[in-house]
Copies of this chain bind each other. A is one copy, B any other.
Amino acid sequence: MSSWQRTHTCGDLTHENVGEEVVLNGWIENHRHHGALLFIDVRDRYGITQVVFDEEKKGTPQGLLDRAAKLGQEDVISVRGSVAPRAPDKVNKKRATGAIEVFVTELIILNEAETPPFEVLDDPECGEELRMRYRYLDLRRRPMQHAMIKRSQFVTSVRNYLAENHFVDVETPILTKSTPEGARDYLVPSRVNPGKFYALPQSPQIFKQLMMVAGLDRYYQIARCFRDEDLRADRQPEFTQIDLEMTFVEEDDVLDLVEGMMVRAFKDTFGAELHRPFPRLDYFDAMERYGLDKPDLRFGMEILDVTEQVKDCAFKVFSGTIADGGIVRGLCVEGAGDKYSRKDIEKGLTGYVSEYGARGLAWAKVGDDGLAGSISKFFEGDAGTALCEAMGAKSGDLMLFVADRKTVVLRALGELRNKLGTDLGLREHGEFKFAWVLNFPMFDYNEDRGTWDSSHHPFTAPVDWDLEDYSKDPGSIRSRAYDLVMNGWELGSGSVRIHRSDVQERVFNFLGITQEEQRAKFGFLLDAFQYGAPPHGGIALGLDRLITLAIGADSIRDVIAFPKTTSATDLMCDAPGDVAPEQLADLHILTQKSKSSS
């Protein structure tokens, strides 16, 4: 080991090392000069250690303090010295190394640093653009290092769990063919095959199904996927999935496996104890109770049905809606009677639900002597008591109601429930509440195009394998798709897949995919199903969002080392960039620009 190389990291030294000669390497975190004494905090990924230059009492050679005094933040140094205990009143309990300091006898400057473009460790003024441009400095911040390390630990734990459960980690191609997720593909022109293009995969879906046909039995991959979509804040052009597939399974096999994986990875990475089994909600049940297919189960406040109680009431909004085939449902907000004023409700909350299509929000506060609020005069005496009973409301509670078509009511109350959860602090930070939502509808009606689309993807099996005709009431057909939900977010989707070519063709036909398209796009999958395809199913979980939620980061950009901006650019590398005309000629392509200027 060369003389400059560390014997310990900056997070290692404790009382046990007192008296040892050590070498530390790291960055100067800060630097305090007190007359004949100079203190430097040396930082690396593992911690911070205080080193002291003291020429008078502690053997720092003459002149070294002056050299050290000229150093600045983020300079990279090697210091040799002896470990000494700190005086009891100087112990820094916030630091693993806070009980000691190192008296320096040798200093080697490994590299000097210019003044960085922003305060590396804490610059509240620093905008995200600057952080992205100098990502290598941004990544020095402790929250970013924490995010990278936790992400890595999480993935390591997931991998070990899957390996122990006989999964084979297989890499699928990045240079491939359009996949059927329906988003826009990134394309790669082929040099060897002029005029032809590879597509970057939106998922390894077809490959993983083919591996089941191949008999690999259990596959997983931490898979990079690509979608050329206009980016929202929580999307990236390339993203990562925990992708897995299993043979000879039904839903419960996949769900049990994934639960085990989450329990293990949350325990290993965050020390969190998750409880199994996760609640398993039928899709329609989830919609009825929470108004959304990704319920936040950190709090209750379920949507309640009061149609029976209000169908004959004098309040025409209620009784009229029901007479017209609509429904009335409500939320009982426990103890919130005095937390929301009339104005809060009639402006704030009513405005909020109107964004989701509700034409109004009826309300009543429950007092000791009856109801108060917009609908109280219609529910006096027994009618009020019956309503409160149906809502499980007691004195001090706030009841909120929406009357409309069912889809509007559920959506509006589901979103309102989430808002109230946030407003009232019901969503506890650091708590992880998982749930499964099962048996999604097989098809969704696409109002723009007047057609039926796959809700999940066209490889999802129907609950009833033998249903021949999907055109009779397609909206009622259930699929074997399931979503994993955590704290109100969807973490991923999966399904039992179709493994029979007759069923696969029937689905393609119903979706209006012509025979020619079926052959051109999925011919090899349909062929594969002819040669002994086993029943199989799987799931894909979004790793970026999962880690973002688990560590409480603001954005998925905070859990990706080198993310793109919302305009899909890498500000550090300046990608995408210009390329030479010869490169385009090699690829047999022209840009529109080069064409118009030629």
Please list the residues of chain A having a beta carbon within 8 angstroms of any beta carbon in chain B: 1-2, 5-6, 9, 25, 27, 43-46, 74-76, 110-114, 116, 134-140, 145, 148-149, 151-153, 155-156, 159-160, 163, 168-178, 184-200, 206-207, 210-211, 213-217, 224, 226, 228, 230, 237-238, 240, 247-250, 252-253, 499-500, 524, 527-535, 560-562, 564, 567-570, 572-579, 583, 586-595
Which residue of B has the minimal Cβ distance to A586? B184
Q: How far apart are A266's CB and chain B's nearest CB, in angstroms?
A: 17
Contact call A567/B217, Cβ cutoff below 8 A: no
Contact call B568/A193, Cβ cutoff below 8 A: yes
Given contacts A248-B6, A561-B211, A568-B192, contact A186 B178 (CB under 8 A): no
CA distance A287 to B168 in the complex (A): 41
- Residues on B with beta carbons closer than 8 Å to the beta carbon of A111: 499-500, 529, 532-535
Given contacts A76-B532, A171-B224, A214-B136, contact A593 B583 (CB under 8 A): no
Contact call A5/B574, Cβ cutoff below 8 A: no
- Residues on B with beta carbons closer than 8 Å to the beta carbon of A114: 530-531
Q: How far apart are A222's CB and chain B's nearest CB, in angstroms?
A: 8
15 other contacts beyond A113-B530, A116-B531, with CB at 8 A cut-off?
A25-B247, A27-B215, A45-B216, A76-B532, A111-B534, A136-B213, A136-B214, A149-B168, A171-B240, A171-B561, A173-B575, A175-B564, A177-B576, A195-B578, A590-B592
Contact call B148/A170, Cβ cutoff below 8 A: yes
Instruction: Name the contact of A187 in the complex, choosing from B45, B247, B587 (C-beta under 8 A).
Output: B587
Interchain residue pairs with CB less than 8 A apart (23): A44-B217, A111-B535, A114-B531, A135-B210, A152-B170, A159-B159, A172-B561, A173-B570, A174-B226, A175-B237, A175-B238, A175-B575, A177-B570, A177-B574, A177-B575, A190-B568, A193-B567, A197-B579, A207-B562, A211-B561, A224-B224, A524-B574, A589-B589
Q: How far apart are A130's CB and chain B's nearest CB, in angstroms?
A: 13
Copies per complex? 2
Which residue of B has the minimal Cβ distance to A239? B171
CA distance A568 to B192 in the complex (A): 7
- Residues on B with beta carbons closer than 8 Å to the beta carbon of A533: 76, 111
Contact call B238/A174, Cβ cutoff below 8 A: yes
CA distance A211 to B586 in the complex (A): 33
Contact call A575/B198, Cβ cutoff below 8 A: yes
Contact call B531/A137, Cβ cutoff below 8 A: yes
Contact call B593/A588, Cβ cutoff below 8 A: yes
- Residues on B with beta carbons closer than 8 Å to the beta carbon of A152: 163, 168-170
CA distance A25 to B561 in the complex (A): 43
CA distance A241 to B488 in the complex (A): 38
Instruction: Name the contact of A226 in the complex, choosing from B5, B135, B140, B175 (C-beta under 8 A).
Output: B175
Contact call B170/A175, Cβ cutoff below 8 A: no
- Residues on B with beta carbons closer than 8 Å to the beta carbon of A151: 169-170
CA distance A575 to B6 in the complex (A): 51
Contact call A188/B191, Cβ cutoff below 8 A: no
Which residue of B has the minimal Cβ distance to A5? B248
Given contacts A160-B156, A163-B152, A238-B173, contact A532 B113 (CB under 8 A): yes
Instruction: Name the contact of A137 in the complex, choosing from B177, B193, B214, B238 (C-beta under 8 A).
Output: B214
CA distance A171 to B217 in the complex (A): 27
- Residues on B with beta carbons closer than 8 Å to the beta carbon of A44: 215, 217, 247
Which residue of B has the minimal Cβ distance to A500? B111
Contact call A74/B192, Cβ cutoff below 8 A: no
CA distance A598 to B594 in the complex (A): 15
The 4 closest A-B pairs by CB, nearest first: A139-B214, A113-B532, A196-B576, A74-B532
- Residues on B with beta carbons closer than 8 Å to the beta carbon of A137: 214, 531
CA distance A586 to B229 in the complex (A): 12
CA distance A25 to B250 in the complex (A): 13
Which residue of B has the minimal Cβ distance to A78? B248
Contact call A562/B172, Cβ cutoff below 8 A: yes
- Residues on B with beta carbons closer than 8 Å to the beta carbon of A5: 248-250, 253
Q: How far apart are A2's CB and chain B's nearest CB, in angstroms?
A: 6
Contact call B191/A184, Cβ cutoff below 8 A: yes
Contact call A576/B110, Cβ cutoff below 8 A: no
CA distance A217 to B113 in the complex (A): 18
Which residue of B has the minimal Cβ distance to A75? B532
Which residue of B has the minimal Cβ distance to A116? B531
CA distance A26 to B215 in the complex (A): 9
Q: How far apart are A239's CB and chain B's nearest CB, in angstroms?
A: 10
Which residue of B has the minimal Cβ distance to A153? B163
Contact call A187/B189, Cβ cutoff below 8 A: yes
Contact call B188/A186, Cβ cutoff below 8 A: yes
- Residues on B with beta carbons closer than 8 Å to the beta carbon of A116: 531
- Residues on B with beta carbons closer than 8 Å to the beta carbon of A176: 562, 570, 573, 575
CA distance A291 to B452 in the complex (A): 68
